Structure 1
Amino acid sequence: MMNGHQEDFEGGEQTTDVEEPIEECSWVYVCVSFLFTSAYSVLCICYGMTLVEKYFSMGNLILPIVALSFVMAVAFKPKRTDASYKRFLYFHFFTFAVAGEVSSAVGSFRTDQSLIGWSVLFRVPLWCLAFRLGLKLRESAAKLPPQELSDFLCQTVLVRGTAAMGTMLFFSFEAISCFISQDSFSNGQCKNTSHAAMFLSFYLALLTTLSIASRTVPKSVQREMAFGLSLIASLEGLKWWQRIQGRLITIVAIISLYLLSFIGVEGNENSVVWITGSMGLLSMIFAFLINATMLVRTRNAYEQERNTTSIELPTNQRSARGFSAGAVEENSIVLALV
């Protein structure tokens, strides 16, 4: 009798282990992302050809939104591994991170703004590095169980990404309304507002990207990288990279409070806004790269351990272990700095 129940349990467990095809998000979202990146590239090309500053200003305002929409497009269809879709992703990336940035740099050099031109070119290898890490995390998301993959696509990517874009659009509208009230996109009185809006949008885009990247690994790996609220309060038991990331995020939070005071304020251009905003952006980039690198390393270590364990353990022990791991509650833990 007991053997019969045990066989039924193992049979049911084997049935639930079969990954059924999951319906991924619609192509509409990917197409909207491609339209955003195309609009940014067109603005940058127009600036490089005509040297009209309003194209450059508009491109900077929508750049964070474009970056986040591209991240969402990469994450929307993780199970598409065919060559045609990968070519589309690379073309998508090229129009955004290469054609647009190079055109902006050419326009800056032609207007004798060499410092801005070199800073724009410096972003290209950063985009390439982030894209490479994104492709690795995309492969990890494709291996998620059906339910976790569904939650990742719907809750993390779609809901959180859309919510972040709403706030970023608000910042952009604040800057645009300031320019409209001054009847010129080249008016220096609105530069503080536009710079503050751009940096705040970048911070929000990177934080949302960090949240998406943290959900591309199985929940068991997330628990290894997470820590409890008690540890957050005591600042004890944290890993070295979590301490560094926490300090970087704290710097960004303080700078964000400073930048928020310039939203909607008209006045002479203040170079301190650009300097502090750049410091916060560099801090966010380093925090993002640290988190993404640790995610990739932890995922690789988890897969190696899982492969070793699956070889050593009998089938019934593997089923029981997978069942118990899936039943662990995670209400009392949060992901690090997300």
Structure 2
Amino acid sequence: MVNILYNFMEKVLFFINTEFVLMASVIYYYEHLKPKRVIPIFILLTSNAARFKSVDTSCLPGDCHIYKNDLNHSVLFPDREFLKALNYQNVSELIIQNFTFLINDIAINYYKRKGTKITFIADSISVDRKLSASAKAKNRFYLVLRKRFNGFKYLSKQIYSFTDHGNRIDRYIAHRKVWENIPYIDIKTLFTKEYNLLPLFGGNLQTNLDAFDVYLFTQPILEHRIFTDKTKELYIQIIEEMVSFFKAKNLRLLIKVHPGEEINKYQKYQCNTITVLQNNSIPAEIILNSVKHKKIFSFFSSISLFDYSGANEHFWLFKLIDYTPPGKNSYQGITNIVTFKQLVQKF
């Protein structure tokens, strides 16, 4: 009897690939969905062992299931457990974050034919990123492989760039407008709400965030094949040069490791003046909005676009590693560092 009643209750599904979107999804639920008394179900899709590692799913306001996100990886026989997420009835809304992930594509096509509304939450500034030619070719390969070899149903005929999916969604949440004729929520209005989400992401930070002079937000450049060996070598070199410089200047540095990376790759930099934050599941936005009048460095992280205090200095370092992010890579309020000498002159 209970199961029958559950099937008839209205539900919303969240297909989540990153900690950033998990944070946005929880706030979106509290602000827009909880008053409707719907049942939230969170589907966390992990692309590696580091993802959601410290997340306490018991703090979520609904059921949670964790599945492997294998369809976009080079495995012949991907995990199929995620198909259980297609068994829900009376799903009024599906929230997804990345059209290029084939699991999300399957979910959209399956639930849309049942009349479910589709809401897109942009992963940081993904709507400003364009798919490179190599990324498009890779997506086509996996699409054909999963349809013809693995026999997955409900896949699209083609995977497009983010901005080509306007006809598939009913609402979107992003840092700027993309489609004029589709209902839009500015994601900044979610992040300005005061919710204590630290317990969800592993509890206390165990350090005084405001005690540092400089903040470095790393990125999973070493984890992905799309980056050349030269870029990876330069990435390590620049970080080591920064660490040496800050040590010599006796400047206090906090290194926040990206959720898609393992912390142990950066532990060697830990010393009296340099701290590697030991919980990398905590979204960078929570950290950034706890500090003011600081220098914030990353290689091209969107974190610098979500600084609502407007009181910090932001710098991107991608030009130092022989890499240019596809799509928009210049924003007001972010200085693109061209040489290491230019970086040094900021102190």
Say whether the fold is shared (TM-score over 0.5).
no
TM-score scaled by structure 2?
0.28
Q: Report 1 or 2 for greater relative contact order, CA contacts < 8 Å, sequence distance ≥ 6.
A: 1
Larger strand proportion, structure 1 or 2? 2
